[in-house]
Structure formats: structure tokens, C-alpha cells
Amino acid sequence: MAKDIGIDLGTANVLIYVVGKGIVLNEPSVVAIDTKTDKVLAVGSEAYRMVGRTPGNIRAIRPLKDGVISDFDITEAMLSYFINKLSVKGFLSKPNIMICAPTNITEIERKAIIQAAEKSGGAKVYLEEEPKVAALGAGMDIFKPSGNMVIDMGGGTSDIAILSLGDIVSSRSIRVAGDRMNTEIVNYLKHKHNLIVGERTAETIKIKIGTAYPEPGNEKKTMAVRGRDSVSGMPTEVTITAAEVEEAIHDSVDQIIAAAMAVLETTPPELAADIIDRGIMLTGGGALLDGIDKLFSEKLTVPVIISEDPLDNVAKGAGVLLEHMNTKVAKQNN
């Protein structure tokens, strides 16, 4: 028998949940291609190590941009590779697949995701909205008639939603998240320090000393960053502070807060009262940014909680939903 799988098809990482086993795969959404032959050379972690370090004929491609498929064939190749690696297919059967997507994708983008999953070996493919699945994975009971709010900050998109009775009441998805913050760090270093660095270095800076909350002492947290001097073209090293990283990503964080405010403003009063009681759940990689809960709580005047495993919530939630559906089907058949 094929085992059903839930996939968090993220801009930065792909996570796969196998029913009965939990999360069995977590790899970067990167594929290395030989441009001369169009052959796939490496997928996932192996391909990620090549980002920014490849010779001319090898390209490390991220087939997803802002939470949606930007290169269909490569997404399909990547999904097929991961699914085959897990050996979840039965002798004659294929697994059912649940894939999670941002809330505001177009019909064409929806079809592209479903098609890629079907071609990579899925029997039935279900598409679910990311914030709903993330809330489930974070342990929220979204099936009751009470308001739950979740902010899921991934690599490509930040999805904000208010849920009640198992569905989304009000939501927003903006293409401002981890990747945008990396770009802002790259630009900041170039303008402020004449230092040219790649996306991977920016990501490392964000993880090591990144902060969203301006507080005293941030200028004392420092990190030595190596790159190329934009004037002389020579390799060089610059020391930057956490306060500078906060300044660099300030705009992105502000846009996410503005989107959360817009969602709260359209919420029915009864649900808004529930959210004041329960708080807002932060999930996704962005939830790991130092001080983000403090800042959101201050700006939105509501308690903010960071979920236990923010990076795993969407994949876990997809698994919970699949199990929920399987139980329902089993009950109907008895």
C-alpha cells in the first residue's frame, strides 16, 4: 500500500510528512542543472551547497519564487526526486498527496502545483491553504467556533489568516518574507559598507545576529562578514552589528505588521475578542527571527506566541489533515 504524504512546498525548503511516520524529509528547494545538456545534476542539500559557487555551465535554480512555481519542469523533477527517495509508493499504488500553497495564488498557479504533484507520482492531489495547515501543525484547534489567528512567515510569502470552524474567515498573503529580508541585507551591505555578498551569506547573517526588535545592546552583537569590495573588487572583511541588520530588514517587517493589521481590521468583533484572549500564533522560519514576537505584540497590542517547531508546522499540519480525512473516509465506509 502506498503511504499518503503531506508536502510543504516552500520557496526555501521542501518538507515531506508521511502518514504514520512524521516528517521524513527536509531539504532546500534547489536544483542544480547542467545548462549544456539540461540534465539535473543534484537536488536539495547537495544542490544548495552549489549556490553561488558553480562554473558557467552549471546553474543552481530555485524553481519556486514567492511561494509559487516559477519553473514547472524543474519543480516536477525536484518533487519526483524527493518522492522516489522516500519509497512511499506501493507495488501497484500511488500515494495521495496534500500540498500547501499561499492563500492568494491564481487558478493557473493552483493548477501548476497540482499538475506537478500528479506528474511526480501522486494518485489524488489535494491543495490546502498554508496558514490553515500551519495553524493545525502548531497545535491550534481550528475546528471549534472560535477565532484563531496565525502569521506564517516563510521564504517567499507571509500568510496571515483568522480561522474559525475549520476554515479561513479573513486572510492576506504578501510576497514579503525571509527571501526579501536576505535581499535587503545584501543591498544594505552594498550601500553602507561597499561590500558585495551573496544570498547565502545574507541568510547566515540573518540567522546568527538578525533581530526585528530595536533594543539597547544590539550594537554590541557583531559578526565578521567576508565578501568583495565593490570599489576595489578585492576580497575583504567587514564587521556588522545586530542593530544594522534590524535597520536593513525594518521595511519588510513593517509590511508584514501592516498586513496583519489589515486582517485584524476586517475581523468580526466576536472573533477579534477571541484573538485578544488567545493571542496570535507565529509559524514559519520568520518566527525564529530574534525579537519578532516582542515587536508584533507591541504593534498589534495582542499577545504573540511562537509555535514550538515553526519550521515544521506546515508539513505537520498537512499530515494531521490527511489523517483527519482518512479517519472520515474510514467512518463513512463502515
Give the domain extent around 79. 5-28+69-132+313-333
- The annotation status of 298 as a binding-site residue, yes or no, is no
- The annotation status of 15 as a binding-site residue, yes or no, is no
- The annotation status of 26 as a binding-site residue, yes or no, is no
Same domain, yes or no, for 143 and 244?
no
Grid coordinates representing 163 are 480561522
Nearest to 174 by CA among 250, 67, 314: 67
Is the whole-model pTM more than 0.85? yes
Phi, psi of 97 (to 5 degrees): -125, 135
Same domain, yes or no, for 266 and 144?
yes
- The annotation status of 195 as a binding-site residue, yes or no, is no
Output the CA angle 162-319-45, nearest 5 degrees: 100
Alpha-carbon span 325 to 317, nearest angstrom:
12
Q: Is the predicted pLDDT of residue 310 greater than 90, yes or no?
A: yes
Which of residues 189 and 38 earns the better pLDDT score? 189
Alpha-carbon span 241 to 224, nearest angstrom:
9
- The annotation status of 295 as a binding-site residue, yes or no, is no
Q: Is the predicted pLDDT of residue 87 greater than 80, yes or no?
A: no
Within a domain: 64: no
Alpha-carbon span 46 to 216, nearest angstrom:
40
Same domain, yes or no, for 162 and 195?
no
Q: Is the predicted pLDDT of residue 3 greater than 90, yes or no?
A: no
Domain count, the chain: 3
Q: Residue 215, SS3?
A: coil
Alpha-carbon span 206 to 229, nearest angstrom:
20
- The annotation status of 291 as a binding-site residue, yes or no, is no
Phi, psi of 53 (to 5 degrees): -130, 20
- The annotation status of 12 as a binding-site residue, yes or no, is yes
CB-facing half-sphere around the CA of 26: CA atoms within 13 A:
9
CB-facing half-sphere around the CA of 116: CA atoms within 13 A:
29
Output the CA angle 309-315-320, nearest 5 degrees: 100
pLDDT digits (tens, 9 = 90+) for 264-298: 999 999 999 999 999 999 999 999 999 999 999 99
- The annotation status of 288 as a binding-site residue, yes or no, is yes
- The annotation status of 285 as a binding-site residue, yes or no, is yes
Q: Is the predicted pLDDT of residue 86 greater than 90, yes or no?
A: no
Same domain, yes or no, for 171 and 186?
no
Same domain, yes or no, for 162 and 281?
yes
Q: Provide the CATH number for the domain around residue 222.
A: 3.90.640.10
Mean pLDDT of 241-253: 96
Q: Are 17 and 316 in contact (CB under 8 A)?
A: yes
- The annotation status of 203 as a binding-site residue, yes or no, is yes
pLDDT score of 1: 64
Mean pLDDT of the chain: 91
Boundary residue ending a domain (248, 264, 284): 248
Which of residues 73 and 248 earns the better pLDDT score? 248
- The annotation status of 156 as a binding-site residue, yes or no, is yes
Within a domain: 51: no
Same domain, yes or no, for 145 and 196?
no
DSSP state letter for 318: H
Within a domain: 53: no
- The annotation status of 139 as a binding-site residue, yes or no, is no
Nearest to 4 by CA among 99, 79, 139, 78: 99
Q: Are 191 and 231 in contact (CB under 8 A)?
A: no
Same domain, yes or no, for 81 and 21?
yes
- The annotation status of 103 as a binding-site residue, yes or no, is no
Same domain, yes or no, for 16 and 82?
yes
User: Which residue shows C-alpha cell 551573496?
Assistant: 198
- The annotation status of 155 as a binding-site residue, yes or no, is yes
Q: Is the predicted pLDDT of residue 144 greater than 70, yes or no?
A: yes
Alpha-carbon span 152 to 165, nearest angstrom:
19
